[in-house]
Structure 1
């Protein structure tokens, strides 16, 4: 690696490219070195020295740069993640933070591409909901984020990878509340439509339901499948052709519940929560269901609180460089037909 000639000014982004880090990391190496890992700081400073880069002091009257936060969601067409992203965006505006929102479309390749684009943009931090709910999921980009000195806050899905904290739903409690509501109903055969069996979300919610129903006379059937609408609908269409039919169902998220409604409609059977139809409970709730005349008992989550906690963790990580891994857990609340909250 050769140093630049005196006639060519080495820019901050040149050093970042050579060192394999973000421009923000290079800036911090000079302005806030305590926020960087010692090895990262040393690599940046050595690269800058070799290239002949000279850091310029910020003029006293230069306005302070706003932090830039990236948000990566797995399904922005899912109202749950869409509302979370909107809440983060509004908080960013109120807190003078620029927010870039990206959709990974439940694709490992697109998730990685979104991370790389945000690194290239020089973001200070990322609020990340990974595409997998398997805690063992650990794509290689986590190491690149760590090298770049970018704070990572996990949202909703927990994984064993380097991060600065996370905000999660109390899935066991969600399932327990759903099971206790179902236990109070005149139900004999309950079908749970779930995500993958190794998902932490699935394990928590199904365990909570089982705990609530322990000792009851309700016959329980669990289908482990996918958290999206189409696969659930396909399975349930086939299941509805085989008696005895369930007289109650629990959808473990909003997309699963939409798949349930779709399957009943295509089968020509009375819809859940309508005369002659089975009882239905939805964890996560379906946005706007009341407007369609469908009041479905559900567990709902305070998404503004989740977004606020994530932004607080980002702020703490940027100010202190802390990697304490603070774990915030949000409890859902039972929403019944007629409730206005």
Structure 2
């Protein structure tokens, strides 16, 4: 059973409700039909019911709940809730009423109010459009200071990581984290690995240097981030700074970082900035023919995940399954 099959199985065991607000896109409707047919989650589609059914054609979306914000008896409640959340930022009731007509804001408010457990968007919206309402309405999880993003990388015929499974972070959101932010990304990524992969995370804080083999502002940031992460999460298995080969290959790890509890065994790779993380995931995906699941958001109070605008219906199904499992643990 591969990674996604395992995730789908877990999603079915404790079914959650996931909002798909981009109901004007046929890929979303195809995904909704597949998710419901496979029993992965209950689906809410946001929009005009007649338009959605017309676009769906012969697709069986009969089990999906369709919610039109303009016709919902919860509209004013959602408007008032958004106003209360944002009035200190200058929000007015009139403006809140307009914003709640937006499918993405409506979907996130459903999650906030407990009418759904998570949301998946991004097939036709930018990452900023998807995450802005999530940050405004849901905000960060208790004890979390930063929202970041990761990829689950599944590398075929790979002897490293957890049976070839890794978390790469941050590979999709935070451009140039400082040491404090990098430590938060490391801690959150370890939690995400444990939640999704159900294995012990071993976190490598990556650099072009191992244990002081080079010295610069770049390496010092990673060293400080490692120190902060250990201080905040003393039970976390984490080490750095480590070069990628020292983190992954046992013989190299033993040589370059003797005594390390991570070197040669890392399965969570934390990159010093988004350039590194994004380049690495794409290289791994293309050169190693790895499966790449993400970017998956971490650090929000409840799960909201972004899609690539080039995604397929099958991609959406995968992210729905991951979001449902995240919701089980949120």
Query: TM-score, normalised to structure 2's length?
Result: 0.26
- Which structure has the highest helix share of the two? 2
Give the number of the structure with larger relative contact order, counting CA–CA contacts within 8 Å between residues 6 or more apart: 2
- Higher Rg of the two aligned structures: 1
